[in-house]
Structures are given as structure tokens and as C-alpha cells.
Copies of this chain bind each other. A is one copy, B any other.
């Protein structure tokens, strides 16, 4: 019954309920941020969205579908801002400063940051449904960042742009983790800017 859906995947997908679906997704997003995927129950999401649990399952076939929807929603919202986009993004517009702006913006919405941080870390556990998503996301993220870095200051010292990209993303995630644990002690935008200034330095033995 709920298994086969090859033909009806295209046009009739959204029916007439995009509003309610979005409400549910927002509720799920908030709860995933607070308690993680495994720590969140469908009943809690349904309650937050103002309907019953079977009512929720009318919109999403299962919990994994909910998670998929949340991740997809996040992608739509945030993908445009960053160099995380598809391969054919205009390379000139993407830059590390642009990323720094996003980080500044993120400081005002810890819930979204927490959701992504929690889900990403959770996804490294075995059989986690978001694992593929994050593997792909990080790969693309690194590729985009490497491109941006290359455009901005080519090769510096011993660092390849791929290495710099991995480090940049690592700094971001690591700072966010510390910030989520101790919001008052960690100023993410400030620290990230400091890291960028490190990246822009010249190597000690060159020129």
C-alpha cells in the first residue's frame, strides 16, 4: 500500500497542503535541534505542530521521511547563501567573506545551528538515515570552499586549497560545538574572522 510510488512522484506531490507540511517541518526542525533525531518522538512533533500523531503520518509516511523533509527544507533555505550550491555557481561571487557574513547571521539563530550540528554528529553513527545527506553535503561544501579559496588567494605556503577548505569547515563546526555548549564563552563570528586572517597570512619562509 504505502510501498509503490514510482508514477505519482512528479506532479501530484504537494496536493493542497504545503502550509501544514511546512508547519510540521518547522516543528520537527525545532525539536531535532533540541533533542536530536533519535531523541525526538513523532508524537512530540505532532503536538508542536498542533495535530495528532496519525495526522502527522498522513503528511509524511514515516519518521525518516520527516527527517528527509527537514534536511531538504534546510537545503532550500541555506544552499543559496553559500558556496555549497551546485557545481556551476558563479565563482566570482563566492568568497570567504561571504561565508563570514553567513556565520554572523547564524549567530542570531542558534536553533538552526544546533539542529545541523546535532544532526551531523548524530549521522556518524551506524545506520543513521541522514548519513548520506551529510557525507554529500560536506563533500560539496569542501569542493565549493576549495574553489572559493583558490579564487581568492591561490596557493599559500604548504596549504592546498582543499586542505584549507577542510580546515575552514572544521573550524566552523568545531566553534559551533563549543558555542552551543558555552554560548557566553565563544564568539563564533569573531573567532572565524580570526581564523580567516590566519589563512590570509603569508607563509613564514616565502617572499
Contact = CB atoms under 8 A, between A and B. Distances in A.
Interface of A: 34-36, 38-39, 114, 117-118, 120-126, 131, 134-135, 138-139, 142, 157-159, 163, 166-167, 169-175, 177-178, 180-182, 185-186, 190-191, 194-195, 197-204
In the complex, which of the residues A123, A158, A194 has the most CB atoms of chain B within 10 Å of its own CB atom?
A: A194
Given A170-B177, A178-B166, A198 B36 contact: no
Copies of this chain present: 2
Given A35-B125, A36-B38, 9 more contacts: A36-B36, A118-B121, A121-B122, A122-B122, A157-B201, A167-B194, A169-B174, A198-B201, A202-B204
Contact of A38 (B38, B142, B158): B38
A185 B141 CA distance: 13
A contact patch SS = helix
In the complex, which of the residues A135, A170, A194 has the most CB atoms of chain B within 10 Å of its own CB atom?
A: A170
Given A117-B124, A167-B191, A191-B170, A134 B181 contact: yes
